[in-house]
């Protein structure tokens, strides 16, 4: 059974930083790992994506230059470094893996099979 566990969320002021972690266990395809977020009343959206073992990454336009996705050495943990946080970044953040989509489909949540339960990020102005 695949389990994903996020950590690192919290409350910060605008301009602050947080680092989210996602620890994975079980048998799963480690090809791609991603972070999504969902704000109240909004649809879940892709934030960042990384191809395991490579430096290939993708980011949503709203976070480019501020967020960085990375992978731990063992390939079972990935991170989201979030800098220059803004109130509009407030959301529940989810990690996901088990990608079965096509290239360019990284931001499609239906292309990911496994999900964590989420960690809340709140940014105050």
Residue 90, pLDDT score: 98
CA 17 to CA 50: how far, in whole Å? 20
pLDDT category of residue 55 using cuts at 50, 70 and 90: confident
Enter the tokens of residue 85: 């946080």
CA 119 to CA 117: how far, in whole Å? 7
Average pLDDT over residues 57-78: 93
Mind listing the pLDDT tens digit for each residue in 97-120? 988 888 888 989 999 999 999 999
Is-contact 14 123, C-beta < 8 A? yes
Is-contact 45 37, C-beta < 8 A? yes
Residue 60, pLDDT score: 97
Is-contact 62 71, C-beta < 8 A? no
């Amino acid at each position: 059974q695949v389990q994903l566990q996020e950590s690192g969320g919290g409350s910060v002021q605008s301009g602050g930083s947080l680092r989210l972690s996602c620890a994975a266990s079980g048998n799963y395809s480690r090809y791609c790992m991603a972070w999504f977020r969902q704000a109240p009343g909004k649809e879940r959206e892709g934030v960042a994506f990384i191809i395991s073992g490579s430096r290939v990454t993708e980011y949503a336009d709203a976070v480019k230059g501020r967020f960085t996705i990375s992978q731990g050495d063992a390939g079972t943990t990935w991170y989201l470094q979030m800098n220059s946080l803004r109130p509009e970044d407030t959301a529940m953040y989810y990690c996901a893996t088990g990608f079965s989509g096509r290239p360019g489909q990284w931001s499609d949540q239906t292309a990911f099979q496994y999900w964590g339960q989420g960690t809340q990020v709140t940014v105050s102005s």
